[in-house]
Chains A and B, each alone.
Chain A
Amino acid sequence: MGFLDFLRSKAPASMRGGRGARAVVTDEDLFDDAFQRKLEYLAIVSRRVFAGRMRAERRTKKTGSGIEFADHRDYHPGDDFRYLDWNVYQRFGRLLLRLFEEEEDLSIYLVVDASRSMGFDMKNHESQVMRGPKLAQAKRLAAALCYIGLSNLDRVSVVALSNRVRDRMPTTRGKQRIHRVFEFLRGVDAEGATGLEEGLKQFVAQNKRRGLAVLISDLYDPKGFEQAINVLRYNKFEPFVLHVTDPADAQPELNGDVRIYDVETGEEREVTITKAVLEKYEKAYEEYLKEIEVFCTLKQVPYFRAPVDEAFDDLILQVFRRGGFLR
């Protein structure tokens, strides 16, 4: 039984994926038939985008035994004579060694933020059930990227993270393994507080093989998102930030005298909600998003915003168009 058949036997489709859709999605119907059909479509599109490339031929930053010229360096005794650039020696009289990009299959790590804030739904803020739209969107995006990666014979791993690595799916290859990804993602719940830095430190410690680390998160980290991204950068991972946002977070439907508390940390603050306060909050929220975007741009970290009310397949296509995810 193929994964499509396997998933077809699951709950009926409820996710229609249109812009603005905000249904409460259960884990059972996250990856229904419609979702899988879209994955197939995305896989085909991704192959068209990256046509001409050989499978598992991904350029790496490493220089080594590939055929693509990368750079020169001075010859040192013991180097392989075969890589001396005699043309340069003839013109400049210097012994320089030609360096080539080493080609290897890419490791893709999909790091899904599974903290409570990801499961929180501002429109149902009184609900204690953490089944908000952000986590669902994150799961769909992760599944889609997984499938594309697996289709391109990349090594794919999925990690659920809060302030620690809560769960991880071991590295796997081949698109027939996508059902494992679905099962893994179905088992991911929103629990614990966000602590991306600690969680990612644990992640890099557990994964010696560097690769593309796609961080799918709302980046609601009390200690700051910067350190978390830097952890990936400093550990030679190629970070890619998929920022899951919920418009309801920007425009909470609150009024009057309230005592707000953080759904993760429980920190409380008394506030009288007025129109002016809401406007200020919306502005602060926009500034926060902007800060993240500016930081990623400055650090040359691919950043992409994924609102929950946008269809995941549209988002994936935009990711492809922008490039940077699959090189």
Chain B
Amino acid sequence: MHLVGIPLAQLLPIFGIAAAAIVGLYILKLRRRPVAVPFERLWERVLKDKEATSLFSRLKRLLSLLLQLLVLAALVFALGDPRTAVEVVKGRTLVVLVDTSASMKAKDGSGGKTRLDDAREEVKKLVKGLGASDRMLVASMDAVVTPMSPLTSETGALDDAATRLEASDCRADFARGLRYALDTLRGTREPEVVVVSDGGLGEPRDGLGSVKLGDVKLSYVPVGKGKRNLAITQFAVRRYPLDKARYEVMIEVQNLGEKDEDVELSLFGDDVLVDLTKLHLKPGERLPRFYPALGGASRTLEARLGIAPPPGPNVKAETDDLPADDRAYAVLPERRRTKVLTVTAGNTYLEAALLLDEYLDVTTITPDKLAATLGAQKFDVAVLDGVGAALKPGLPTLYLDARDGGPFKIDAKKPLQEPTFDTLERKHPILRWTALENVGIANGTKLVPGEGDKVVGASNEGALLIAGSRQGTKFVALGFDVRQSDFPLRIAWPVFLLNTINWFVEEDSEYLSSFKTGDVWHIPAPLGVTNEVMLVDPAGKEHRVPVQDGRAVFFGTKAGFHRLKKPQKPGEPSGDVLFAANLVDPLESAIAPKPDLMVDGKKGGEVAGFKVGVRRELWIYILLAVAVISAIEWATYHRRLTV
């Protein structure tokens, strides 16, 4: 017999203290209720007979005390959680990996139950069938692995862990889950991994290669039976760069079931139906759709896919087994009018390019009116053409034909003759969709970048285009006069200008209309937020999210519209950032359950050794015995059999 609970060294003092208390209480005289009688001598006659049996009474009282001490000893013994030696040796260590990926939301169970509901039931069955010395850990496995319980034999904690399992909107990372389980089981006795899943887990392979199970036993509990599923597997939207009132949408839908389906694809802009298309999809067919030049939505777009209702009135449309991938979400980049101050002695190319974007309010002044204008009006962006002026805090500035006086230095000793862009930082936002390699330039100025500035374009002799910021105010400097080059004659010129203005006002041309669930998201944080920001997920739950380099970093697992909340001051407009996330994962949408699970060449076997309804912990039976003894003692006491 072994004690796996409280050790004997602690049990003995507990017993000693409790026994002393019981004996003390036993010695204490019972305070009896006083009752008057007319003639006490009559009672004396009666009690003489009882006193004759006082030895027996004392013996009964002693037996009663002994019984209580026995009950106490049993309780203390139960605290020690006694196990037989055989059980202690044979106890298993189990890690139950419950697939909580999006496919587990499939409603193919009886009574509309999801696969996760079935998985919960399966886990609870395993918990009920645990052996006395078995220990178990329940972990949720989606894109990350989350232990829901400690490694324990406490059935209550394990049951609770099973109840708290929740499906996400992302794919399960099986390799990560298995590696977590194997790390947990390292060095334990009788290790076993139990995977509760629909089997859509893929090959457990990651950067370290395939997962090797070693001696660890693998068991598989399959759940799910449905196969019928339609999914939106791609969804993207973008505004046209030169006509931002309009946008273009790309949707890809796929039939992952085994029969032909007539489907309806709806597109909602700001919750208003923008387009409804009926499609016919063959089994396995993937169908991309493009919606060019759409208008009417300013912020949100949502695509909904459903099985077309059969013809006839009052006929309800069927649904596929997995509704989670029937919707996709996107957020259009926010558009607002940008006030641009152009300071130039006269530059037709510049003025013409700025006319292309109807959302720009352009004010053009001559250099001599710069100070007065800045003092009187407020602008979002300044473009200084051949003007040397300091960078005004809060006013991002594009320096064309950069001169001294700006937030950068100019190497005047080395004017550049017929330079070209020999190196370009193509990933920089201001160069998106441009090609500057063969721009012909007559004369240029070598720019000297400051600390933290980025050389975006440079000839072999020096920097021609730099970007940077001073105290949070961005600037871009171009080291030549565009009129002495063929740059304005190229498509790249207005695009460069608009890219730069967009970069200044955070209208990122690399804007993503939606994120993918199961990835780490880098969301542009609201202006002015530096350390952390509150993220509100589609369910309304708030998460505190760190901000790094102006971006909120968050591991997202829920599809839908999310919001980054900016702390709002009174009278200040809301600076919240809205963004979308989608599942769009054909592998996850393929919900047909897999009957077998293969890992490292081993096939996951059926679970065994779980006997539901049989608890092998002795303490339970000890407690039951104590309860029975107490009940008997109570009954005999109140029937005055033992007093």
Contact = CB atoms under 8 A, between A and B. Distances in A.
Contact of B46 (A222, A268, A284): A284
Interface string A244-260: 00100100101011111
Interface stretch (B32-40, B223-231, B349-357, B565-573): B32-40
A269 B40 contact: yes
A120 B38 CA distance: 6
A125 B50 contact: no
B35 A262 contact: no
Contacts of A271: 43, 46-47, 50
B49 A280 contact: yes
B47 A269 contact: yes
Contacts of A263: 36-38
A189 interface: no
B37 A274 contact: no
Contacts of B38: 117, 120, 122, 218, 220, 246, 249, 262-264
Given A272-B640, A274-B640, A260 B39 contact: no
Interface in B4-63: 30, 32-47, 49-50
Interface string A220-233: 10100000000000
Contacts of B640: 272, 274-276
Given A277-B50, A281-B42, A259 B37 contact: no
A93 B46 CA distance: 65
Contacts of B42: 281, 284-285, 288
Contact of A262 (B33, B40, B45, B46): B40
A261 B38 CA distance: 8
B643 A125 contact: no
A267 B34 contact: no
A252 B49 CA distance: 19
Given A222-B41, A284-B45, A260 B35 contact: yes
Best-buried of A249, A258, A262, A270 by chain B (most CB within 10 Å): A262
Given A257-B30, A258-B32, A259-B32, A252 B46 contact: no
Nearest to A283: B46
Interface string B604-643: 0000000000000000000000000000000000001001
B40 A259 contact: no
B35 A258 contact: yes
A120 B36 contact: yes
A176 interface: no
A249 B37 CA distance: 8
Contacts of B643: 257, 272, 274
A261 B37 contact: yes
Contacts of A256: 33
B52 to A, nearest CB: 12
Contacts of B44: 269
Given A271-B47, A281-B42, A262 B32 contact: no
B41 to A, nearest CB: 6
Interface residues of B, number: 21
A87 interface: no
B125 to A, nearest CB: 50
A297 interface: no
Nearest to A277: B46
A293 B343 CA distance: 138
Best-buried of B34, B37, B42, B45 by chain A (most CB within 10 Å): B37
Contacts of A262: 36-41
A261 B32 contact: no
A265 interface: yes
Given A269-B43, A288-B42, A260 B50 contact: no
A279 to B, nearest CB: 9
A117 B37 CA distance: 8
Given A265-B40, A284-B45, A125 B32 contact: no
Contacts of A246: 38
A211 B42 CA distance: 33
Contacts of B40: 260-262, 265, 267, 269
A277 B57 CA distance: 14
A259 B35 contact: yes
Best-buried of B36, B47, B50, B643 by chain A (most CB within 10 Å): B36
B36 A261 contact: yes
Contact of A252 (B30, B37, B50): B37
A317 to B, nearest CB: 28
A275 B643 CA distance: 12
A233 B612 CA distance: 89
B43 to A, nearest CB: 6
Given A222-B41, A271-B47, A277-B46, A125 B33 contact: no
A125 B49 contact: no
A243 to B, nearest CB: 13
Given A260-B40, A265-B40, A267-B40, A281 B35 contact: no
Given A222-B41, A274-B643, A275-B640, A261 B46 contact: no
Contacts of B34: 258-261, 268
Nearest to A122: B38
A284 B44 CA distance: 10
A90 B643 CA distance: 83
A284 B39 CA distance: 12
Nearest to A252: B37
A125 B45 contact: no
A277 B46 CA distance: 7
Contacts of A285: 42
A304 to B, nearest CB: 20
Nearest to A273: B640
B142 to A, nearest CB: 64
A260 B34 CA distance: 6
Contacts of A249: 38-39
Contacts of B33: 256-259
Given A270-B32, A275-B640, A260 B37 contact: yes
Nearest to B643: A272
Contacts of A125: 35-37
A280 B640 CA distance: 15
Nearest to A127: B36
Contact of B39 (A117, A270, A276, A287): A117
Interface in A283-307: 284-285, 287-288
Nearest to B640: A274
A264 B36 CA distance: 9
B344 to A, nearest CB: 109
Contacts of B47: 269, 271
A262 B43 CA distance: 10
B26 to A, nearest CB: 14
B46 A281 contact: yes
Given A258-B33, A259-B33, A281 B43 contact: yes
A258 B43 CA distance: 12
A183 B35 CA distance: 34
A122 B40 CA distance: 13
Nearest to A121: B38
A258 B49 CA distance: 18
24 contacts: A117-B39, A122-B37, A125-B35, A220-B41, A256-B33, A257-B33, A257-B643, A258-B33, A259-B35, A260-B40, A262-B37, A262-B41, A263-B36, A263-B37, A268-B34, A269-B47, A274-B640, A277-B46, A277-B50, A280-B46, A280-B49, A281-B43, A284-B45, A284-B46
In order of increasing CB-CB distance, the 3 nearest A-B pairs are A262-B40, A274-B640, A220-B39
Interface of B: 30, 32-47, 49-50, 640, 643
Given A120-B36, A285-B42, 14 more contacts: A122-B38, A125-B37, A249-B38, A254-B35, A256-B33, A259-B33, A261-B35, A262-B39, A262-B41, A268-B34, A272-B643, A274-B643, A284-B42, A284-B45
Interface of A: 117, 120, 122, 125-126, 218, 220, 222, 246, 249, 252, 254, 256-265, 267-272, 274-277, 280-281, 284-285, 287-288
